[in-house]
Structure 1
Amino acid sequence: MAEQAERVIPLTEPPAEDGEKGPSKSALKKAAKEKEKAEKAAKRQAAEEAQKKESESNDISKNDYGELPMDGAWPSAFPSKDEVPRVLLTDLEEYFGDASKMDVEGGPHIVFRASVENARSQSAKLAFLVFSRGGASIQAVVAASDDLSRQMVKFCSSVPAESYVLVHGLVKKPMEPVKSTTIQNLEVHVKKLFVEGKAEAQLPMQVADAERPIPIEGEEETVDGRPIVQLNTRLNNRVIDLRAKHNQAIFAIKDGVVALFEEFLRSKKFRGIQTPRLLGSASEGGANVFKVEYFATQAFLAQSPQLYKQMLVAARFERVFEVGPVFRAENSNTARHLTEFTGLDMEMEFEEDYHEVVSLLEELMLFIFAGLKDRYKRETDLVRSIYHVDEFKLPAKGAVPRLPFSEGIKMLRNAGEEINDFDDLSTPQEKRLGALVLERYGSDFYVLDEFPLAIRPFYTMPTAATQAKYNPEKPNEGYSNSYDFFMRGQEIMSGAQRIHNAAFLVKRMKEHETPVDPQGEGLKDYVNAFKAGAPKHAGGGIGLERIVMLWLGLPNVRLASLFPRDPSRLSP
């Protein structure tokens, strides 16, 4: 019996020295399977790498595509400038407008940079891409041949949308016009392609999303079953959003407004100026200023260059203008307000009457409108094809509707509005008056003149009739030599004749609806400027983004600001 007991084979491994049991059969089996699986994966990977190396060694195009190094070195495979011209897509049609340039065997060679709108594989031997740059787009073909490998076709078809690429190709006539691109009668047959800036495969939004209108309150938020990307999403991803063709057009127009503004004023002998944006005090009064730390004290961001413009006129600059940022700490979350916008400001002496300045400003605005219509028609039409709006109606030169404020009040009352003689206009009332003016005068542009004195700044000159009827008990009663300009029923500019007499200025500062101290920080130097003698002068400040918004019919002023700032947005 003892011998039999000694020959018994244990069914499990003997216990470990510490008394614990060893691995079970199932655990050993699982480990063996994992080992086998890992060995197979390693063999498969080794086989794939070997196949890839063999494929690369046999790839006739291996030097003609890929990703450029970070230092941006020019690919050695690319021809020199002397051999092949560098072109811009925007110039391509004009460059090859001369048919003789197409009479090159195989097609003329070009080199260009562009972004990839999309890339798709038609087969293992054929891929189509769309390249775009500067508002122009063109179809490209990548076809396998004795000189171009399937590997290159595969690479090109897999380039992520929005990647920036360097391309060498042949320009040819397509079999039929390509309707999906702006360049329809030419296409590029790619010979070499390198990715200079690769985009991630999954972006937060696509450029195609940005090329549709933002949803307007009360309207559907889908188009053709696809959700419309909201304004906040677009602004949070502004770099992608700004690539949209109509956004490129918006900011070409915005730059055009500035150029036209400067061109006109320089032709009228105005001088460009640059005034401070950091102020030692909230010099224009009110609470709508931003405070900033300034070493051991605090400073304020300028609400406008107003006081400095006037001081420069007093300094014998005679006619001045400025284009620069303006800051307003107004907690207004509307579609037409920003906390930082671009101001187009001007100030000038006049000879007899402040209406000389009003007339010049009307001429300025008509010059800008005519310039936009003539020089930026393509961009305007592109934007308006997305944000549908009626053509901006302009009066004949010299016939801008110019209404006294009292007449505007009368028109509103006749239309059923309840409003007092000296009330400021609300936004809905401004729009209603704009519609009434359009109906009566056929103009989307008009001027409202002689605003109530009580609702204008302390430096505004009262009318002669108001001064003649001056009542010390009611010093702010009556009208002023001030004016606002309107587009489509919304204010774009505020201006006035300024007080140029130091003693009268001090008086008005003290008795204004919101009194200010003439000896206060930021105002003392301003008042002293007029003690040295100053001419009669007037001017105005125009909101650049407002002009762009209303000319194009944009639903929100933020669309006219590259990186808008409002009460809830400080980035990007």
Structure 2
Amino acid sequence: MAPQEEKPAAAPVATNEQTLPERPKEEDAAKGPSKSALKKAAKEKEKAEKAAKRKAEEEKQKQQQEANDISKDDYGDLPMLGSEVVKPSGLKRVHLHNLTEQEADQTIVFRATVHNARVQSAKLAFLVLGQRLQTIQAVVAASETLSRQMVKWAGGINAESTVLVHGLVKKPLEPVKSTTISNLEIHIRKIYTIAKAEPQLPMQVEDAERPLPAEGAEAQQQEDDGRPIVKLDTRLNNRTIDLRGMHNQAIFTIKDGVCALFSEYLRDHGFVGVQTPKLIGGASESGASVFEVKYFNQKAFLAQSPQLHKQMLIASRFEKVFEICPVFRAENSNTARHLTEFTGLDLETTFEEDYHEVVELLENLLLHIFKGLKAKYARETALVRSIYHVDEFKLPEAGQVPRLSFAEGVKMLREAGVDVNENDDLSTPDEKFLGKLVLEKYGTDFYVLDQFPLGVRPFYTMPSPQDPTKSNSYDFFMRGQEILSGAQRVHDAEFLKKRMLALDPPVNPEGPGIKEYVDSFRYGCPPHAGAGMGLERIVMLWLGLPNIRLAQLFPRDPNRLAP
């Protein structure tokens, strides 16, 4: 059989579309970028060259300006202290509160905080510089010896920055009304930043100078100038800025003054300052208002007061002791007059015949403090009261402090239409109202309530020999609020045990931290009495502050453990 012949390949089918061959990629590459791309690249190159040229010109101009800056060594940033070896200048520094007109036309050197800075013109800038409670105006003026560059730089210093100033003291043409020092100003010759503040702060220091609404008052949303109110929480969250306010500086100067006057009087009367432990084995007061802490493998507590140890020192024959110390109260109170940690002014002393000897001592002690504040801290007091307006604190003369029995206080309230129980403690509103009644009748903001019901006082309080339902105890008041609580103490061990066991619930005289206290009276202890005062509350009521937190540097309350 003959082999089959191959058929020729079929011819392509004709169509209406013409098939074009693909263009090789190498051909596209050979053609290069498009005209529009080349034009765009040329523009970008030209733009970059112009920018580089402009930057070079600016740098050259800046270098020329710096080279021609006659003040280039008289301003700028100082190296951070400790970061470089800095040779001491040997220059004597001055403090603004010591400046007098005798320093006029003299050059001084001082460190200060920039409260504000502003450029008035290319040749003139003004700064307000401060040191604690003092502020002064400073002038930076261009001249043959001071450059415009220095004027511009000084006027741009961020507020709250720390600066070192060399300047000439001058008398201004007119008194400067915006600063505390009005009769002098500083003409700056040199100024350097020691520490820069950031340009944006969480709050402004001037906000700290604005009053908070009083307790119970409806919070205003805006001041008359339209600025929003900075709330207390915001201030406390940014306390390091808040404390820079001049009135805050004054508050804590006064607070230190109270401590100094307290110690001064007691030392002059034979008292010895002591330091008792703040970690104790048992609650120092009855009740549950105590902070428990883990102490190795046992429980411990933060002291609610130095009460037990003060009495143990009397039993140790110290006879007259005082202490300024932290006090801790685990009371879930969120009022404007309570803190979980505050400062106690405590004392304990023997007496000869009657506990009123100690009441008289306490009256004279507080009169010494109040009169000392009026005499030594009048400027600081006036500054704070200019923000928190309050009537002048009215004082009685020595020996004329109203000393009312608790029953008399109850009678005054009842006669004024207030329903109170003579066997219960007074509520805060009742205390404040009684304070108004006492002020109307006796003309004083300071008075004493004596002989409180025994049932509202601690176990170590001595019952009254005239009436076993009453006690030899007393509270002192400022503007109708309690600032001091005290009493004659039980100084017999067996009687003290009876008092403990009679309470509801009873206090265990054999309990940890308590047994040693009870036993200390078994070895003979003289009759004694004492008191504890709240330092922050005294400051608050003296100055008319609306909240006790304003009288503590870093307050602690049920909701605040920081900063």
The two structures have a TM-score, normalised by structure 1, of 0.90
The CA deviation at 1:30 is 6.7
Matches within 5 A, 1:5-84: 37-71=47-81, 80-81=90-91
Matches within 5 A, 1:515-526: 515-526=506-517
Q: Is the 8 A contact 1:454 1:513 kept in 2?
A: no
SS in 1 for 2:466: helix
Evaluate the alpha carbon distance shift between residue 31 and residue 312 of structure 1 in structure 2; reply closer, same or farther with a 3 A threshold: farther
Deviates more, 1:311-320 or 1:207-216: 207-216
Q: Is 1:325 matched up with 2:323?
A: no
Q: Is the 8 A contact 2:135 2:180 kept in 1?
A: yes
Q: Is the 8 A contact 1:215 1:228 kept in 2?
A: no
> Quick one: which amino acid aligns to residue 208 of structure 2?
A
In structure 1, what is the equivalent of residue 97 of structure 2?
90
Per-residue CA shift, 1:360-418, capped at 9, x if unaligned? Answer: 00010001010001111111111101100000011121111111111111111111111
Per-residue CA shift, 1:498-547, capped at 9, x if unaligned? Answer: 00011100011001233100000010000000001100000000000000
Deviates more, 1:542-551 or 1:218-227: 218-227
Q: Is the 8 A contact 1:291 1:299 kept in 2?
A: yes
Q: Is 1:412 matched up with 2:413?
A: yes
Alignment partner of 1:536 out of 505, 524, 527:
527
The CA deviation at 1:43 is 3.5
In structure 2, what is the equivalent of residue 19 of structure 1?
none
Q: Is 1:398 matched up with 2:389?
A: no
Per-residue CA shift, 1:206-249, capped at 9, x if unaligned? Answer: 11111110133315332222222111111111111111111111
In structure 2, what is the equivalent of residue 567 of structure 1?
558
Evaluate the alpha carbon distance shift between residue 25 and residue 563 of structure 1 in structure 2; reply closer, same or farther with a 3 A threshold: farther
> Quick one: which amino acid aligns to residue 64 of structure 2?
E
Q: Is the 8 A contact 1:130 1:138 kept in 2?
A: yes
> C-alpha separation between the residues in 2 aligned to 1:289 and 1:492?
21
Evaluate the alpha carbon distance shift between residue 31 and residue 515 of structure 1 in structure 2; reply closer, same or farther with a 3 A threshold: farther
SS in 2 for 1:508: helix
Per-residue CA shift, 1:473-519, capped at 9, x if unaligned? Answer: xxxxx110011111001010110000001110001100123310000
Matches within 5 A, 1:347-496: 347-467=348-468, 478-496=469-487
> C-alpha separation between the residues in 2 aligned to 1:24 and 1:451?
102
The CA deviation at 1:40 is 4.1
Deviates more, 1:455-464 or 1:22-31: 22-31
> Quick one: which amino acid aligns to residue 190 of structure 1?
I
Evaluate the alpha carbon distance shift between residue 37 and residue 294 of structure 1 in structure 2; reply closer, same or farther with a 3 A threshold: farther
In structure 2, what is the equivalent of residue 499 of structure 1?
490
Q: Is the 8 A contact 1:545 1:561 kept in 2?
A: yes
> C-alpha separation between the residues in 1 aligned to 2:390 and 2:132?
25
Per-residue CA shift, 1:311-355, capped at 9, x if unaligned? Answer: 000000000000010000111000000110000000000000111
In structure 2, what is the equivalent of residue 245 of structure 1?
246
> C-alpha separation between the residues in 2 aligned to 1:421 and 1:24?
103
> C-alpha separation between the residues in 2 aligned to 1:404 and 1:45?
86
SS in 2 for 1:259: helix
> Quick one: which amino acid aligns to residue 198 of structure 1?
K
Alignment partner of 2:128 out of 122, 127, 130:
130
Q: Is the 8 A contact 1:408 1:433 kept in 2?
A: yes
Q: Is 1:182 matched up with 2:189?
A: no
The two structures have a TM-score, normalised by structure 2, of 0.91
> Quick one: which amino acid aligns to residue 179 of structure 1?
K
The gaps in structure 2 that reach 5 residues or longer are 1-17
> C-alpha separation between the residues in 2 aligned to 1:408 and 1:521?
39
* CA radius of gyration, larger in: 2
The CA deviation at 1:80 is 4.2
> C-alpha separation between the residues in 2 aligned to 1:26 and 1:490?
86
In structure 2, what is the equivalent of residue 300 of structure 1?
301
The CA deviation at 1:110 is 0.7
> C-alpha separation between the residues in 1 aligned to 2:472 and 2:42?
95
Matches within 5 A, 1:76-155: 80-81=90-91, 85-93=92-100, 96=101, 98=102, 101-102=103-104, 107-155=105-153
> C-alpha separation between the residues in 2 aligned to 1:33 and 1:127?
43
Deviates more, 1:322-331 or 1:412-421: 412-421
SS in 2 for 1:421: coil
Task: Give the paired residue count.
Answer: 539
SS in 2 for 1:459: coil
Evaluate the alpha carbon distance shift between residue 124 and residue 418 of structure 1 in structure 2; reply closer, same or farther with a 3 A threshold: same
SS in 1 for 2:536: helix
In structure 2, what is the equivalent of residue 272 of structure 1?
273
The CA deviation at 1:86 is 2.2
> C-alpha separation between the residues in 2 aligned to 1:349 and 1:542?
18
SS in 2 for 1:345: strand
> Quick one: which amino acid aligns to residue 555 of structure 1?
P
Alignment partner of 1:197 out of 191, 195, 198:
195
Evaluate the alpha carbon distance shift between residue 254 and residue 53 of structure 1 in structure 2; reply closer, same or farther with a 3 A threshold: same
In structure 1, what is the equivalent of residue 4 of structure 2?
none
> C-alpha separation between the residues in 2 aligned to 1:450 and 1:153?
70
The CA deviation at 1:420 is 1.5
SS in 2 for 1:222: coil
The CA deviation at 1:296 is 2.8
Q: Is the 8 A contact 1:116 1:164 kept in 2?
A: yes
Q: Is the 8 A contact 1:323 1:342 kept in 2?
A: yes
> C-alpha separation between the residues in 1 aligned to 2:478 and 2:34?
85
Evaluate the alpha carbon distance shift between residue 36 and residue 341 of structure 1 in structure 2; reply closer, same or farther with a 3 A threshold: farther
Evaluate the alpha carbon distance shift between residue 509 and residue 37 of structure 1 in structure 2; reply closer, same or farther with a 3 A threshold: farther
In structure 1, what is the equivalent of residue 11 of structure 2?
none
Evaluate the alpha carbon distance shift between residue 34 and residue 459 of structure 1 in structure 2; reply closer, same or farther with a 3 A threshold: farther
**RMSD (CA atoms):** 2.5
> C-alpha separation between the residues in 2 aligned to 1:29 and 1:12?
23
Q: Is the 8 A contact 2:114 2:163 kept in 1?
A: yes
The CA deviation at 1:26 is 8.0
SS in 2 for 1:356: helix
Q: Is the 8 A contact 2:78 2:194 kept in 1?
A: yes
The gaps in structure 1 that reach 5 residues or longer are 17-21, 468-477
> C-alpha separation between the residues in 2 aligned to 1:12 and 1:377?
94
Evaluate the alpha carbon distance shift between residue 528 and residue 49 of structure 1 in structure 2; reply closer, same or farther with a 3 A threshold: same
SS in 1 for 2:99: helix
The CA deviation at 1:424 is 1.3
> C-alpha separation between the residues in 1 aligned to 2:27 and 2:528?
108
Evaluate the alpha carbon distance shift between residue 282 and residue 166 of structure 1 in structure 2; reply closer, same or farther with a 3 A threshold: same
> C-alpha separation between the residues in 2 aligned to 1:295 and 1:518?
24
The CA deviation at 1:274 is 0.1
Q: Is 1:257 matched up with 2:258?
A: yes
Q: Is the 8 A contact 1:275 1:308 kept in 2?
A: yes
In structure 2, what is the equivalent of residue 344 of structure 1?
345
SS in 1 for 2:167: strand
> Quick one: which amino acid aligns to residue 308 of structure 1?
H
The CA deviation at 1:281 is 2.3
Q: Is the 8 A contact 2:255 2:535 kept in 1?
A: yes
The CA deviation at 1:58 is 1.4
> C-alpha separation between the residues in 1 aligned to 2:500 and 2:37?
92
Identical-pair percentage: 68
> C-alpha separation between the residues in 1 aligned to 2:34 and 2:558?
67
